[in-house]
Chains A and B, each alone.
Chain A
């Protein structure tokens, strides 16, 4: 079983749409969770940390469900510039375990 699993997509959504990504993690001892964004042929960059109580940063909302071991990312009012691959990350037996990413394309 993969440690962090994500739907690879692609998710193709129109501008202004709301889109949600989910990811599951297998290590119940994981304590730290993050969402990273990776643009084509670039390095991953931290989008936001995920806290137990859930957290919001502008149009982005992250949620953690420890009982079900999943993490979600909600993007509201999608912009063309949101097109990227979104990586779900959980701490694990190695320092951090990265999912393979979910590709988002926002279309005009």
Chain B
């Protein structure tokens, strides 16, 4: 069966510091991978998605970036965090070729920028 991992679970960072969040998927090959952010009391905002290694689509211009160095690894980064980057960051996967298929979410990282 497939599992998706995210770490860390919680993170408190000062404004201006860098960020690196990691997501890995097990039990499937060539998954589509997604990064979402959910701000307090808000809906899910798609940040990036990837259909393969090195292929990243950005949905929202911001100070975040994403990379996919391996088939089942997706990384979300920032060089300098802003207060507005606080939120619940969720990684998700869907089967290869299934961009409109069900997405399965990891447990998320709760980021607080102070």
Query: What chain A residues lie within 8 Å of B104 (beta carbons)?
Result: 46
Cα A101 to Cα B43 in complex, Å, equals 7
**Are A43 and B108 touching (Cβ within 8 A)?**
yes
Among A41, A96, A98, A100, chain B packs the most CB atoms within 10 A around the CB of A96
Query: What chain A residues lie within 8 Å of B103 (beta carbons)?
Result: 95-96
Q: Can you add 9 more A-B contacts, CB < 8 Å, to A43-B108, A44-B105, A100-B43?
A: A44-B90, A45-B105, A87-B43, A87-B44, A91-B99, A95-B34, A95-B94, A95-B103, A98-B44
| Interface: A69 (CB within 8 A) | no
| Interface: A34 (CB within 8 A) | yes
Interface range on chain B (Cβ under 8 Å from partner): 20 to 34
Query: What chain A residues lie within 8 Å of B32 (beta carbons)?
Result: 95
Cα A79 to Cα B34 in complex, Å, equals 32
Contacts A41-B110, A43-B90; is A95 near B44 (CB within 8 Å)? Answer: no
Among A44, A87, A100, chain B packs the most CB atoms within 10 A around the CB of A44
Contacts A44-B105, A45-B105; is A98 near B43 (CB within 8 Å)? Answer: yes
| Interface: A49 (CB within 8 A) | yes
CB 8 Å contact bits of A11-36 with B (1 = contact, 0 = none):
00000000000000000000110100
